[in-house]
Structure 1
Amino acid sequence: MGTKDKLSYERLISRVDYYKEKALDLEKKLVFAEETIERLENEANSDQSLQIIEEKEKELQLLRTQVEELTKKVKRLEEHEMEKRMKSYEELLKSIQQEMNDKDQQIDLYQQRIKSMEKRININRTSEPVFEETETETAKTEMQKKEGFNCISYFDYSVIFTKDKKGFVRGSFYLENTGTETLENPYICFRFQPAEACALKGKIISLIASPTQDEMSKSIWMYMDNDWAEKAKDRGEMWICPLRETKFKSGDKLTLEDFQIPFKSKIDENITVEAFVYFHKQNYRSKAVNHIAINF
């Protein structure tokens, strides 16, 4: 409550007290007048006494009218005071509710960060996936397909050239569970040839960069910021995974939308980008059905 509101409130209280005292004083006068009238009626034996009685009755009626008006004013002041208090309480409740909403949003952000940090810890504990296409690995993949694990992934992209044979690839990467079993938390590896071309941008966040609440709420994917992922980047591999726990059942799809891969012709005459998907919990891995090829 501001200083101005406090002074107005104190004036209102003083005015109410004044009118209450005034009403009490008038009631005392009314009682005194009634007693006087009664005494005069008992002593009245002349026209002068009757005239005095009439005057006293008029004075009494006037006093009654004043008492009624003062009573109404007191009632209005009390109602005004109550309305003012109610408005003050409503504003206080609104402020408290806003603070609670802000705290809830902060709690949600902290919970998301905690889950993300837990996921980073789990990623750090995960052994590095290796995508060597040997006969043994191919046979293992085929066996997993028979057991109900199967994921089809592919690129949808376009190559945009700018000046001096520079440019970028813009596209999306799609995953679809075509098996019968539920798949969880896909780790996606984009392998670049040559390794110097390794770069991937888009709606992907890095927990090391301390993303904002808005970025956390709008993002689905994050970079895998751990030791072996950094070493893999030197080999030309970029690893990402979902920001939150992700499960997709048979027939469900996941998408990495609107990614960009910048390139320069000075790196090499040709650039290729392959993709591999690895499901750690199910020990299942698959290769994308197509790849990105840039020829200068």
Structure 2
Amino acid sequence: MGTKDKLSYERLISRVEYYKEKALDLEKKLVFAEETIERLESEVNSSDSLQIIEEKERELVALRAEMKNLTNKVQKLEEHELEKRIKSYEELLSSIQEELNDKDQQIDLYQQRMKSMEKRININRTSEPVFEVANLGNADSAPRKKEEYNCMSYFDYSVIFTKERTGFVRGTFYIENTGAKPLDNPYICFRFQPAETLALKGKIISLIASPTQEEMSQSLWIYMDDNEWAEKAKERGEIWICPLRETKLKSGERISLDDFQIPIKSKIDENITVEAFVYCHKQNFRAKAVNHIAINF
């Protein structure tokens, strides 16, 4: 056997020995693995492990049931809270609707009262005074039976001045029926001279100013200022007023314009005169007040 063949044989034996050792080592590892598997299977099959698994499964079921219960409670709470909010909103909307309905009713009532007031004002007053105010000065001299229609009207007033020579007149204007028959809806004309001094304030409402219900309830008189004729009268220095409600002044009865005010400014004129005239359209009766307001600076 040559040297080369001898080396190949030894190398082959060496390799066989190496693989035998490797196979032996693998067999040992396989045996160890089988023992480990047997031990684990034994542990898994033991009663304690099964009890633990069952207990954990029961805990898991209980936790799932509790979670479902809590989810249902949360859902119910959310629904309840939503219902409460919806109910609260509905109550708020209902309250707002009631207020709106109440306001609508008040507006309707106010409009009805305004229409009624306008009707009352227009009763027996559809015609404008058919006389010139210039003739009113002599109205008391017109022939008329005193036992039928007659009245006495007059001012009760005081004048208040400031240091700046301005101030106001404050007083009451009275109308008393001194005749035998009633007088219906007396107009009052206040004539200012000069016309630029025209101003009259008090418990008198104006349809143009859209009076409130409280103002209407507290007032007995209304300005006749809602037509072209009234504007022309103002240019002449006249303010006309009439009763707010249907008024029948029986014999011996009295009606008054209480607490009127007339502002005064000395810069306008040195002398200011305010006269008053009473006119009843239905009876075609007219009369001049027995006195007047005269202011001299």
Q: TM-score range by the shorter chain?
A: 0.5 to 0.7
Q: Distance in 2 between matches of 1:109 and 1:134?
A: 37
1:33-86 CA deviation, whole Å, 9 max, x = no partner?
Answer: xxxxxxxxxxxxxxxxxxxxxxxxxxxxxxxxxxxxxxxxxxxxxxxxxxxxxx
* Closer, same or farther: CA 177–105 of 1 in aligned 2, 3 Å: farther
* Closer, same or farther: CA 260–136 of 1 in aligned 2, 3 Å: closer
* Closer, same or farther: CA 138–249 of 1 in aligned 2, 3 Å: closer
* Partner in structure 1 of residue 177 of structure 2: 177
* Partner in structure 2 of residue 191 of structure 1: 191
Q: Distance in 1 between matches of 2:136 and 2:234?
A: 23
When Rg is computed on C-alpha atoms for both structures, the one with the higher figure is 2
Q: Which amino acid aligns with 2:154?
A: Y
* Partner in structure 2 of residue 159 of structure 1: 159
What secondary structure sits across from 1:145 in the alignment?
coil
- Residues 144 and 284 in structure 1, CA contact (< 8 A), matched pair in contact too: no
* Partner in structure 2 of residue 246 of structure 1: 247
Q: Distance in 1 between matches of 2:218 and 2:284?
A: 29
* Partner in structure 1 of residue 288 of structure 2: 287
Unpaired segments ≥5 residues, structure 1: 8-95
Q: Distance in 1 between matches of 2:183 and 2:139?
A: 19
C-alpha RMSD of the superposition: 3.3
Q: Distance in 2 between matches of 1:276 and 1:199?
A: 16
Q: Which amino acid aligns with 1:255?
A: S
> How many residues are aligned here?
209
1:251-292 CA deviation, whole Å, 9 max, x = no partner?
Answer: 111110111100111111111100000000000000111111
What secondary structure sits across from 1:217 in the alignment?
helix
* Partner in structure 1 of residue 133 of structure 2: 131
- Residues 192 and 237 in structure 1, CA contact (< 8 A), matched pair in contact too: yes
* Partner in structure 2 of residue 218 of structure 1: 218
Structure 1 position 143, deviation (Å): 1.5
Q: Distance in 2 between matches of 1:228 and 1:292?
A: 25
TM-score by length of 1: 0.61
Q: Which amino acid aligns with 1:131?
A: V
Deviates more, 1:225-234 or 1:148-157: 225-234
* Closer, same or farther: CA 224–182 of 1 in aligned 2, 3 Å: same
1:101-123 CA deviation, whole Å, 9 max, x = no partner?
Answer: 98876555333311332355564
* Closer, same or farther: CA 134–235 of 1 in aligned 2, 3 Å: closer
Aligned pairs (5 A) from 1:1-296: 108-119=109-120, 123=125, 125-133=127-135, 138-140=140-142, 142-146=143-147, 148-225=148-225, 226-296=227-297
Identity %: 60
